[in-house]
Amino acid sequence: MFCKEQVAQLRDYIPRVHEAGAELIVIGNGTAEQAQWFVEDTGLDVPLYTDPSLQVYDAVEARRGVLSSMNWGTISAALRTFRRGFRQNRTMGAAFQQGGVFVITPGGDMPYRYVSGHAGDHPDPAEPVRAIEQFAATAQSS
């Protein structure tokens, strides 16, 4: 349910991302079939990929483990998410893997990086979107 909440929050910012000449890309870690199901279930209209090997998660140093998945932060986030009407389906992917949000530019820079501390720990989507807009403004003026 955290994932659906995160995708719903990010979706609101897609117009701003596109206006800055960028793209929102979602990466999960289940099978390709599960990725297809997620696209259909959420109606997501941005590119989505999956990394069942978890190598991408390891490269960005995303957290993995039982403690990062079940702690007070997670319980609090679960209550918030449940109140907003999101419900957990069957877990499709690595149950104890955490995620993150990153901005990567064509030049290979990473002006924004947020590694989730626990399940349900997401940044305000406005933060990475601002990083993209700043990059676009700098690229335009140079």
Q: How far is the CB of 72 from other proteins (least distance, A)?
A: 18
Largest CA distance in the chain: 48
Question: With contact defined as beta carbons under 8 Å apart, do 49 and 71 qualify?
Answer: no
Question: With contact defined as beta carbons under 8 Å apart, do 142 and 118 qualify?
Answer: no
**Contact between 77 and other proteins (CB under 8 A)?**
no
Figure out which of the listed residues 39, 71, 73, 117 binds other proteins, where binding follows CB under 8 A.
Answer: 39
Q: How far is the CB of 115 from other proteins (least distance, A)?
A: 9
From CA 78, how far away is CA 101, in angstroms rounded? 19
Q: What is the DSSP letter of 97?
A: B
- The residue among 117, 113, 115, 110 whose CA lies nearest residue 135 is 110
In the stretch 82-121, what mask flags binding to other proteins with x, by CB under 8 A? ------xxxxxxxx-xxxxxxxxxxxxxx--x--x--x--
Residues that bind other proteins (CB under 8 A): 1-3, 6-7, 10, 17, 20-30, 32-39, 47-52, 55-57, 59-62, 88-95, 97-110, 113, 116, 119, 128-129, 132, 135-136
